[in-house]
Amino acid sequence: MRPIFRVLRSLGNSLGLAWWEKVETREPNVTYWFGPFLTRKGLKANLSIFLEDLSLEDPASIKHTSLRCRRNEPFTV
């Protein structure tokens, strides 16, 4: 990824304009934050890969929601 995109994502996140996906699993009970992305389209384009990897852990359920917000670490709770 080009450095300018990293700077823009960081700026967008600090202003609360970045797109994040809040992904919650049950058994194990974990909340993951996937992002930041400059656009919702960019988030959706990359989300399926993350969800596929997560499903390999065989959780009882996976629920996810798109949010435009500012996030700081930790990204997994």
User: Model's pTM, two decimal places?
Assistant: 0.86
Pick the more confident residue, 21 or 6: 21
**Residue extents of the structural domains in the chain:** 3-69
Q: 3 preceded by cis ω (within 30°)?
A: no
| Per-residue model confidence as pLDDT tens digits over 45-70 | 999 999 999 999 999 999 999 999 99
Q: pLDDT band for position 75 (50/70/90)?
A: confident
Structure confidence at residue 74 (pLDDT)? 73
Structure confidence at residue 60 (pLDDT)? 95
Pick the more confident residue, 24 or 77: 24
